[in-house]
Structure 1
Amino acid sequence: MDNRYNRYNRILALFFVVMTGAFVSKAQDKLYPQYPESFETGNKMNYRIDDIDLPTGRWRLDNAVIQNQKYDGAVSGEYAVRMIFNNTASAYLQMMYDLPKGASKVEFWYKGFALDKPCMFQLEYSTNKGKKWQPIGDLIVATDKQKYTKAEIDMDIDGRVRFRINKIGLGDGAKNPEISNGRLNIDDFAVYYKE
């Protein structure tokens, strides 16, 4: 009886230590200043590539706009990013600056647009000033067109880092009805670092 009781207590103590460590780790996540980026100050009306200044820094919008049409909606404020549909090459919402303290988590909100088909996209990061990009987290399919879904991607990246949303160029659904490649809305992009 004593052995089973002692073993139970050891397991309980180990569980407490693990859970306390997880809590402390989460408690250390800090939101970078000026984040989340809500895209309220960077009105961009056309899809051609351009770099714009936002409160968090300079962003590149490649086949993307910042607008407030009826179907864009917004998580906060009035504006959101919308990425083009039927793209055959990737479309990007991309940071053109580095964050200095690495990253422990990225959060953002996404949804499909109007009556479009779903689309697919990927969060990517770079630790060499955008020369090479690597995917992080799973490929995401945006299926809900009515309301935004929150994406939370945990990570453990040290040193300088930047991020981008890569909307995958799946092809022209107007020419091939089997292709699902609608427009994509993104809003309230947040990056956390770990002290």
Structure 2
Amino acid sequence: MKPTGKLLLVLCAAAIFASCKKDAVTTPVNEQITRKATSELTTTLSETFESGTKTAYASASVTLGSGSWTLNDALIGNLSTDLKNGTQSARIRNTGTLNMNFDATGGATTITISHGVFGSDGSSTWQLWISTNSGSSYTQVGSTVTSSATSLSTATFTVAVTGSYRLSIRKISGGTNRINIDDITVTTGTGTGGGGGTTGDNSNLLMGNPSNATTSVVLVTNYLMDKTYYTSSYNSTRGTPNWVSWHINSSDIGSTARQDDFRADVTLPSGWYEVGSTSYSGSGFDRGHNCPSGDRTASVAANSATFLMDNMIPQAPVNNQQTWANMENYIRTLVTAGNEVYVVMGSYGTGGTGSSGAANTIDGGHVTVPSNIWKVVVVIPDGNGDLARVTTSTRVIAVNTPNINTTNSDWKTYRTSVDAIESATGYDILSALPTSVQSVVEATVDNQ
């Protein structure tokens, strides 16, 4: 029997609880209570493809459990080679689509979709689009997803819809390769506190999931990791994060000393290479933090979390100790002045220049040296209802520096737009914001 939407939520909650228990070894109980996000979730759409029949690829509408959908170059599959939970799932080929013909109500915060390849077919890519005007126009949600696994994986998208919506799933590459889609679940809810995977105030991913990272272990280059004090997309083939996202308010800045306990992350999936505390030794590159130690000085546990090696990148010493240190200090002055900030930092490209010269990789090829390092900062006054308070006049700082040892110590030299960083990385960095707000703040280059 296929799990119902309610059962899926229970299973997800159990998984989150298990993850929190794992962190409890090093995190005091009282701090877990204050830092862990809490959320009341409501399911506003659940489609399991268990009801309805469509045996041909030709475009036609079919009544499913949630309502009427139009399946174009797609059908309802029930073969042994269809990936599915239960007896049926959708199967799409070429550039087929699954489109809702009705408005779901109640809003949307998180959308999860199970997907994988049909039979022995090759990989394909697809996108999720959403409409909030009864199908008159659509906007892509998150990043393009690749289906390459022969078992169902889960793609998770973060949105901020308060009213009605329609979904459109669009296969965009792979030709005649077929993919299966199953178990579409849409939830909405609010949370409080600093957590990783939720979308309430102060949560690490409130502004969105830039690369649509998920916790599926098959996504070896885009693996979502919630470290309580920051959330990241980890790339196991590069040995570094793609990006790290976190929130800072005045309660995060205290008097805890820098722990300097650089160490491998032993919680990585089995078989993945664990970058160690000495992996950068003799390379000419610093162990450069993404989420800085100085942003997490409220407790020993918080500060220690930033010294996991999967929070590090090989960073040119001058770039790390001057350019980026100066920007990090400046951001903290904004916080102590009465603001809270949402930060996303990442890197891309291959090849940097450290104190010992240029290099593409270190640690015997296990760790890739990035060519560029970027950061995006959303600044809002202290308050509640953070996502709704980001407007077209909100200050957004975007910086992109080369990873070289001769960068200017003045980080403002490297200010750019979010749009430019997205163009370089392919990410959708502030995807949770309304498109009307994104279009303005992402095109603006900060000059304060």
TM-score under structure 2 length normalisation: 0.34
AA of the residue aligned to 2:144: L
Matches within 5 A, 1:1-195: 19-20=35-36, 23-24=37-38, 27-32=39-44, 35-75=45-85, 77-84=86-93, 87=94, 90-144=95-149, 146-168=150-172, 170=173, 172=175, 182-194=177-189
Q: What's the counterpart of residue 176 of structure 1?
A: none
CA drift at 1:18: 7.5
Name the CA distance, whole Å, in 2 between partners of 1:17 and 1:147.
Answer: 36
Which residue in the other structure is 2:247 paired with? Answer: none
Preserved CA contact (<8 Å) 2:115 2:181: yes
Question: Structure 1, residues 140-170: CA drift from partner, whole Å, max 9, x if none?
Answer: 01011x21001111211121111111111x4
Q: Matched residues in 2 for 1:126 and 1:94: separation?
A: 10
Is this contact kept in 2: 1:29–1:104, CA < 8 A?
no
- Residues 34-66 of structure 1, C-alpha deviations (whole Å, 9 max, x = no match): x53111111210001111111211111011000
Q: Residues 62-95 of structure 1, C-alpha deviation per residue, up to 9 Å, x if partnerless?
A: 11000211210312x20010001xx2xx311111
How far apart, in 1, do the equivalents of 2:164 and 2:117 lie?
31
Note closer, same or farther for the CA distance 1:46–1:72 as it changes in structure 2 (3 Å cut). same
Measured in 2, the distance between the counterparts of 1:38 and 1:157 equals 22
**Which residue identity lines up with residue 92 of structure 2 in the other structure?**
M
Which consecutive unaligned segments of at least 5 residues does structure 2 have? 1-27, 191-448
Q: Which has the higher contact order (CA 8 A, sep 6+)?
A: 1
Which protein is richer in helix relative to its size?
Answer: 2
> Is 2:124–2:174's contact at 8 Å kept on the other side of the alignment?
no
The letter of the residue matching 1:29 is L
- Distance 1:68-1:18 versus aligned 2 partners, 3 A rule: same
Q: Match for 1:150: what amino acid?
A: T
Q: Indicate if the aligned counterparts of 1:102 and 1:193 stay in contact, CA closer than 8 A.
A: yes
The alignment partner of 1:73 has SS state of: coil
Unaligned residue ranges in structure 1 (runs of 5+): 1-11, 173-180
What is aligned with 1:175?
none
Cα distance in 1 for partners of 2:83, 2:43 equals 24
Shift of 1:194: 2.7
What is the distance in 2 between the residues matched to 1:108 and 1:64?
A: 16
TM-score, normalization by structure 1 = 0.75
Identity %, equivalent residues: 27
CA RMSD of aligned residues (A): 2.0
CA–CA distance in structure 2, aligned partners of residues 19 and 98 of structure 1: 36
Aligned residue identity for 1:152:
T
Distance 2:188 2:64 in 1: 20
Q: State the one-letter code of the partner of 2:184.
A: F
Distance in 1 between residues matched to 2:104 and 2:140, nearest whole Å? 17
Measured in 2, the distance between the counterparts of 1:171 and 1:149 equals 18
User: Looking at CA atoms only, which structure, 1 or 2, has the larger radius of gyration?
Assistant: 2
